[in-house]
Amino acid sequence: MEIALPVNLADDFTPVLHQRHSPLLLTLPVTTYDRCFVTHSGIGFTRLRPITESLYPNVTGRTRSRFYRHAAREYFTAPRVVSRRPWLLLVHNHWSGGYHHWIADCLVKLREVDPSRYIVVLPDDYPAFALQSLWKFPFQGVLSLPPAHGLSATNLTAVGNPYVSRYNPDHIRWLRDSLVPQRALDRAAADRLYVTRRHAGRRRVANEDEVVALLARYDFTVVDSAQLSFSAEVETFARCRALVSLHGAGLTNCVFMPPGGDVLELCRHMGAKTGEINTTYWHLSVAAGHNYYYQFCRPLRGHGGVPNDADVLVDIARLERNVRAMLRM
């Protein structure tokens, strides 16, 4: 399936088009295993073989080997919860303690199973949004893994992960339909939102006061999505028609917007030494049925040498041109 191009496509996006983009998985594999071990972070193996559904299908061989070594080490050293209960379900993975991977990579797995048959496995120290989101589905219960504990299960069903940064529109549509309450659908969706990362420890907008002042002229409201409960987050973005945000988990909430919305992602530019651009939110916005816009920004500094974690400086004049394009002005 072709990926719709950014609405404001320009020459500076050409290198991104030349990056390798993963294929689309129409369905996610579901496999039941006997006598298996799962790490606290969701990496599993049985009879010393990796449970392939617990890994991402398009990670590098080096990453896969690292995950396997981690699982083997945990198998021999970590305390464990032992369960002989049937119908245990594994959906979390090594990266899903973060909001984006939990929403876009893990919750979509529930489309492949009947949740009412299962007890879902969930680390006890996961952020509140994980358990709050699971309340939306009719599970028989939750098996909590204490911190640093693995799981020895007599019977476990695992649902495979989608490809990293590649999203099935059918999965995203199902997720929206499953999580957005009818009361939100009954209201007019007209909000324009800017997601701030002012209180984040990394990847912030250095001149955010200027950004907010510009967006206020176009009736954008500032929201810190990290401060909302999961239900409030869903309902807030279910009313959104135009979303502006720096690259980060807040953009994941575009999945709750009514289809046909407009998403503008602010991200650091592609320099000679900064490698590839993370295309996660371009692909996710398109899969959610929105018009995607981008704006490359000058990075100011990195955190631990990670380019995607750099704070950025936003060109305000260019931002206004992009906002006016989004709003068809």
Question: What is the per-residue pLDDT for 275?
Answer: 58
pTM: 0.92
Question: What is the per-residue pLDDT for 159?
Answer: 96
Q: From the CB of residue 22, how many other CB atoms can be counted at a distance below 10 Å?
A: 15
Burial class of residue 15, CB neighbours in 10 A (0-12, 13-18, 19+)? exposed
Mean pLDDT of residues grouped by 10 in the chain (329 residues)? Answer: 89 86 85 94 86 83 81 89 95 94 96 97 96 95 95 96 90 96 72 89 88 97 93 94 94 96 89 67 96 93 61 95 96
SS3 label, residue 265? strand
Contact by Cβ (8 Å): 185, 238: yes
Question: What is the per-residue pLDDT for 48?
Answer: 76
Question: What is the per-residue pLDDT for 224?
Answer: 94
Question: What is the per-residue pLDDT for 306?
Answer: 55
Q: Identity (one letter) of the amino acid at 195?
A: V
What order do you get walking across the sheet with 191-195 strand by strand? 220-223, 191-195, 240-246, 262-268, 291-303, 306-313
Question: What is the per-residue pLDDT for 272?
Answer: 43
Strand partners, 240: 191
Alpha carbon dihedral 9, 11, 17, 19, in 10-degree steps, equals: -140
Question: What is the per-residue pLDDT for 311?
Answer: 86
Query: Domains of the chain by range and CATH?
Result: 11-22+168-326 (3.40.50), 30-159 (no CATH)
